[in-house]
């Protein structure tokens, strides 16, 4: 990493000494491309499993059956698509917020290639049926160890950058990143504790109800600290940039941060209502989940209000359109989540497609659209070329939005139908629909609608791929890392002085 101190030019003695350094944008380009690639793969698998449910003939042999491909889908979209997206966001914004290049180029590259290697390992082992069978933590112990190593390198690189930062103030996005890095490490270590039996098999050290509690402490907080906190950091950095407006309330963002991280960690037992988990634990999970509504909406309001006075910009900015829909879906899924945790509601929703609707309104709306918005903002800056086609980006926005709506509306209908049919009794107190197939037949049309919605959403990702590819093709061949000069002694809010 070239970091040099230049004295003022001859004849300009009054000028302060400038320190010139370069941001590492290559690593951000790597993570951005990986996001797009894995997004396509993960969602293609999503479309395939969406087809396999109403059309079982599409289950091809054991390796490509629903049971094997479902965890491949969840791992690919969460850890490969959303994962690479948050790393792109973190590597881009942390450097700018700290006014420093990443701590170590070597570590950045190790993180990138290590993470892609883990994804490939997942893509091979999951179709082979090698799994711990713990949801969102299916990968076997050797891969778990690799995840730990890569995560530690990422953490050292990130905290090293914080340590050598030139900007004293730590903007709220950085706090969300810190919470992500620390908590994901704790969750991964806590839930992956297992005794290896062979290279491809292990047994968790927890048993029965403890195992379930630890698993859903992990599962719920994977949603919280992988699909929520880093995306909130992303929102707090990229939204004001794209809107060219300061964040609505900085004070609210701090309250939002501390209340969210404190409350989220307790809510896991809401996944285990009406199970062997003690009643008090489930109630505790429910209470904390309901409390979570407040900070979540604090974040949503802070995001949407940042656009005050800038709403007209939405007409021309696909980035802002994506962000607004993304934040709105965040608001909807974080209203729905607390509601689902209430035991009486959960009695209807649990085990039904209502969950799948909830998951995908968060995943497609919040995670997907925040990622797409960020990519459309980043690509012209990273490749120094205007986006190839604004029209195509707008088409992506619309096809994606309609796709989400079709997906979630179909799943709400299906989920409520399932819930109501399963608990319907006749006058004698017997189940009205004792045959499971009766519900399956009812919801089958909804599965076709979901498939159409999912395919449209994937179609939007294909448009993104073409647009980004055409932009990159036209980009200059030589893309030097951007150089920035700051007054050397300054460790306070020095303004960037871009140099050639
Ligand atoms: C084209 C887009 C997508 C399609 C067609 C799709 C389809 C599906 C299908 C069919 C399932 C299985 C549902 C079941 O078992 O009944 C599923 C599960 C899941 N998907 Fe997606 N998906 C898509 C995108 C995403 C994205 C972008 C994410 C996350 C960022 C995501 C996260 C999940 C999760 C977490 C589950 C498991 C839900 C649960 O166990 O309750 N999906 N998806
Ligand atoms: C205030 C925030 C939220 C709360 C309180 C909450 C609560 C819940 C509840 C009660 C369930 C159903 C558990 C069950 O019956 O099995 C659930 C499932 C789920 N939620 Fe949320 N949710 C929130 C936000 C989100 C967001 C923003 C996302 C995605 C980005 C998300 C992703 C999921 C996933 C993936 C599942 C399915 C887990 C599984 O069974 O595999 N949630 N959530």
- Which pLDDT tens digit goes with each residue over 341-358? 999 999 999 999 999 999
Which of the listed residues 39, 43, 73, 443 should we mutate to test ligand 1's pocket, taking the one with most ligand atoms within 8 A of CB? Answer: 73
Say how many Å lie between the CA of residue 494 and the centre of ligand 1: 44
Say how many Å lie between the CA of residue 258 and the centre of ligand 2: 20
* Residue nearest atom 26 in ligand 2 by C-alpha distance: 362
Alpha-carbon distances, residue 414 vs 133, 349, 434 (angstroms)? 26, 11, 18
Angle at the Cα of 482 from the Cα atoms of 241 and 321, rounded to 5 degrees: 25
Instruction: Indicate if ligand 2 lies below 6 Å from the C-beta of 366.
Output: yes
pLDDT of residue 6: 46
Query: Which atom of ligand 2 approaches the CA of 267 most closely?
Result: 5
Burial 459-476 (b: 16+ CB within 10 A, else e): bbbebbbebbeebeeebe
Which of the listed residues 359, 404, 458 should we mutate to test ligand 1's pocket, taking the one with most ligand atoms within 8 A of CB? Answer: 359
Q: Which residues pair with 431 in a beta bridge?
A: 425
Alpha-carbon distances, residue 152 vs 1, 147, 222 (angstroms)? 21, 9, 17
Helix (H, G, I), strand (E, B) or coil at 203: strand
Q: DSSP alpha helices (H): ranges in 342-389?
A: 343-349, 353-360, 369-383
Instruction: Indicate if ligand 1 lies below 6 Å from the C-beta of 283.
Output: no
Instruction: Indicate if ligand 2 lies below 6 Å from the C-beta of 158.
Output: no
- Which pLDDT tens digit goes with each residue over 161-220? 999 999 999 999 999 999 999 999 999 999 999 999 999 999 999 999 999 999 999 999
pLDDT of residue 440: 96
Q: What is the pTM of this model?
A: 0.94
Plot region of 344 (φ>0 → left; ψ -120 to 50 → alpha; else → beta): alpha
pLDDT at 10 over 80: no
- Which pLDDT tens digit goes with each residue over 439-455? 999 999 999 999 999 99
Helix (H, G, I), strand (E, B) or coil at 480: coil
pLDDT of residue 13: 52
Domain boundaries, the chain: 28-477
DSSP state of 431: B
Say how many Å lie between the CA of residue 304 and the centre of ligand 2: 22
- What is the band of 61 on the pLDDT scale with cuts at 50, 70, 90? confident
- Which pLDDT tens digit goes with each residue over 253-291? 999 999 999 999 999 999 999 999 999 999 999 999 999
CATH topology of domain 28-477: Cytochrome C Oxidase; Chain A (1.20.210)
Residue of higher predicted confidence among 12 and 361: 361
> Do 143 and 122 touch, CB atoms closer than 8 A?
yes
pLDDT at 329 over 50: yes
Mean pLDDT, rounded, for 394-411 = 98
**Average pLDDT over the chain, rounded to whole?**
94
409 vs 416: CA distance, rounded Å: 11
Instruction: Indicate if ligand 2 lies below 6 Å from the C-beta of 367.
Output: yes
Mean pLDDT, rounded, for 295-319 = 95
pLDDT of residue 18: 87
* Residue nearest atom 36 in ligand 2 by C-alpha distance: 359
Measured from the alpha carbon of residue 272, the closest ligand is: 2
128 vs 305: CA distance, rounded Å: 48
419 vs 424: CA distance, rounded Å: 9
Instruction: Indicate if ligand 1 lies below 6 Å from the C-beta of 458.
Output: yes
Mean pLDDT, rounded, for 406-420 = 98
pLDDT at 14 over 70: no
């Amino acid at each position: 990493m070239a970091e040099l101190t230049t004295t003022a030019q001859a004849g300009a003695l009054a000028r302060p000494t400038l320190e010139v350094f370069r941001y590492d944008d290559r690593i951000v380009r790597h993570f951005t491309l990986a996001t797009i690639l894995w997004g396509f793969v993960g969602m293609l698998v999503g479309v395939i499993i969406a087809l396999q449910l109403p059309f079982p003939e599409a289950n091809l042999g054991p390796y490509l059956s629903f049971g094997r491909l479902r965890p491949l889908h969840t791992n690919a979209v969460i850890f490969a698509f959303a994962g690479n997206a948050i790393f792109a966001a973190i590597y881009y914004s942390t450097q700018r917020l700290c006014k420093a290049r990443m701590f170590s180029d070597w570590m950045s590259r190790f993180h990138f290639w290590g993470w892609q290697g883990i994804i490939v390992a997942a893509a091979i082992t999951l179709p082979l049926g090698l799994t711990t069978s713990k949801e969102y933590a299916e990968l076997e112990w050797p891969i778990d160890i690799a995840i730990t190593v890569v995560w530690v390198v990422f953490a050292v690189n990130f905290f090293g950058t914080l340590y050598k930062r030139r900007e004293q103030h730590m903007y709220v996005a950085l706090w969300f990143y810190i919470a992500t890095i620390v908590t994901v490490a704790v969750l991964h270590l806590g839930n992956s504790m297992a005794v290896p039996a062979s290279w491809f098999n292990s047994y968790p050290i927890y048993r029965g109800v403890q195992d379930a509690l630890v698993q859903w402490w992990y599962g719920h907080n994977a949603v919280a600290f992988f699909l929520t906190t880093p995306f909130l950091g992303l929102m707090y950095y990229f939204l004001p940039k794209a809107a060219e407006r300061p964040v609505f309330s900085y004070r609210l963002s701090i309250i939002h941060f501390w209340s969210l991280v404190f409350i989220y960690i307790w809510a896991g037992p809401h996944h285990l209502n009406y199970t062997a988990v003690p009643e008090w634990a489930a109630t505790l999970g429910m209470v904390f989940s309901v409390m979570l509504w407040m900070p979540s909406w604090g974040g949503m309001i802070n995001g949407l209000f940042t656009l005050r006075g800038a709403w007209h910009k939405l007409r021309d900015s696909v980035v802002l359109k994506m962000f607004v829909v993304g934040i709105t879906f965040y608001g909807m899924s974080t209203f729905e989540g607390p509601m689902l945790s209430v035991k009486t509601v959960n009695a209807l929703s649990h085990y039904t497609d209502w969950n799948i609707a909830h998951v995908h309104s968060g995943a497609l709306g919040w995670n997907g659209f925040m990622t797409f918005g960020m990519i459309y903002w980043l690509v012209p800056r990273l490749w120094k070329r205007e986006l190839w086609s604004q029209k195509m980006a707008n088409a992506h926005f619309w096809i994606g939005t309609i796709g989400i709506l079709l997906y979630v509306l179909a799943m709400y209908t299906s989920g409520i139908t399932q819930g109501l049919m399963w608990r319907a009794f006749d006058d004698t107190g017997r189940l009205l629909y004792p045959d499971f197939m009766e519900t399956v037949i009812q919801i089958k049309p909804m599965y076709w609608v979901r498939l159409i919605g999912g395919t449209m959403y994937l179609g939007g990702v294909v448009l993104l791929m073409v647009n980004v590819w055409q932009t990159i093709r036209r980009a200059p061949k030589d893309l030097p890392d951007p150089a920035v000069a700051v007054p050397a002694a300054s460790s306070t809010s020095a303004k960037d002085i871009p140099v050639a």
